[in-house]
Amino acid sequence: MPRIKEAINQMSVEEKFSVMDYIWASLSTETEKLIPAWHERELKATEARVTAGVERPIPWESAKAILRES
């Protein structure tokens, strides 16, 4: 891994974005491995609460402010 980190540190910003795009495309072909089962369950439970009107989304800036206050 140290050689990879060294190579990344020597890349231009454009090269780094290109590598990130390549890695994401590679990972995207294995979607079942991207989201753990527990996370999939939580996403579905959240979606059900939103659909039922029990929970509603809030703007990201508002969520960050709430998190900072706690």
H/E segment holding residue 30: none
CB contact at 8 A, 55 and 49: yes
Where are any strands of DSSP class E within the chain? none
Whether the model clears a pTM of 0.75, i.e. scores above it, the answer is no
Domain boundaries, the chain: 1-33, 35-70
Query: What digits encode the pLDDT tens for the residues 18-43?
Result: 999 999 898 888 777 778 889 989 99
CA dist 4 and 22 (Å) reads 15
Q: Which two tokens stand for residue 53?
A: 């009107």
Q: Quote the pLDDT of residue 33.
A: 75
CA dist 63 and 25 (Å) reads 30
